[in-house]
Chain A
């Protein structure tokens, strides 16, 4: 902006110099000294228009015009506060609703699971029922018994790995190392293949693999 101001002054000076020389010419041509400035201006043309057109050559005019438009918009909005309030409110509601819908879609459809290859992961059943196999809510394939899982896991020729998790989450209290107090945690029984199949690691502690299944381990994940 500072550079622009200097350039404007420069142009002002340039045109003033031109007018002065023109004045001299007019006087030399016999125009009276009183008349000469007017004659020079007449010969030059519309000074402000010429300045305007010249400024356009600098290439900043579009930016300047944008600024003017913005200022004008603010002025007009101030003049009618009720209209402005309604417009802002409807925009806010619209944007809010869209954001809410998108966050939901993002969470449900777009964001992938935090496992190594989510696109190769298949879930048996709907994954929303909890309970024991004998107690199927709608008698369809929703829950599977542990022996069933073992069978599938051992006879598996289709998947690179099969893992199972208990359908019910247990809220227990545990002491995380370093803390003196116990805190509520969510615990879930999972098969020994769980971590290797999902391809995830524990944040702290060690994860178990198939052979170590007999040794119980508590780990902190997530």
Chain B
């Protein structure tokens, strides 16, 4: 897949967090999750489908998300994923890990 130069690759391990965060707004299907992440990142982040579906199924196996077939507003049957209680807790864990990582990188790049 050719990538536009102004797009950045997702950091390893951040996709789970982004998926959980996206599902915080309500149940969503895989396509919607992709679009949401792309839109909210002003098209900077592109979710690779090769990692999205494995990630979704992995998260489901860990019971952080649950899935259900549901109709969209336009009547199409799609598999919707929803955040579980354990998923909410996991989101907090990942978020704090991310913050630590980001601040650590910032300190390295711009020592006080």
Contacts and interface: CB of A to CB of B under 8 A. Distances in A.
Secondary structure at the A interface, as helix, strand, loop or mixed, is helix
B31 interface: yes
A14 interface: yes
Given A17-B77, A45-B49, A57 B31 contact: no
Contact of B50 (A20, A53, A56): A53
A49 interface: yes
Nearest to A47: B49
B53 A50 contact: yes
Contact of A57 (B30, B35, B49, B58): B58
Interface string B48-66: 1110011011100100000
B1 interface: yes
B29 interface: yes
7 contacts: A14-B29, A15-B53, A17-B77, A18-B29, A50-B49, A51-B53, A54-B57
Q: Give the top 7 A-B pairs by smallest Cβ distance, nearest first.
A: A57-B57, A21-B31, A57-B58, A54-B53, A14-B79, A53-B54, A18-B31
B44 interface: no
A56 B55 CA distance: 11
A14 B57 CA distance: 11
A54 B54 contact: yes
Given A11-B57, A45-B48, A45-B50, 6 more contacts: A18-B30, A20-B76, A21-B78, A44-B49, A53-B50, A57-B57
Interface string A9-26: 011011101101110010
Interface string A31-62: 00000000000111110011101101111000
A221 to B, nearest CB: 63
Nearest to A49: B50
A56 B50 CA distance: 12
A218 to B, nearest CB: 72
Nearest to B2: A42
Interface of B: 1, 29-31, 35, 48-50, 53-54, 56-58, 61, 76-79
A57 B61 contact: yes
Nearest to B74: A24
Given A45-B1, A45-B48, A10 B61 contact: no
- Which of B53, B54, B77 is the most central at the interface, judged by chain A CB atoms within 10 Å of its CB? B53
A17 B29 contact: yes
Nearest to B58: A57
Interface string A52-84: 011011110000000000000000000000000
Contacts of A13: 77, 79
A50 B50 contact: yes
Nearest to B57: A57
Contacts of B77: 13, 17
B50 A57 contact: no
A50 B53 CA distance: 7
B68 to A, nearest CB: 11
Given A57-B61, A58-B57, A17 B79 contact: yes
A10 B57 CA distance: 12
A50 B79 CA distance: 17
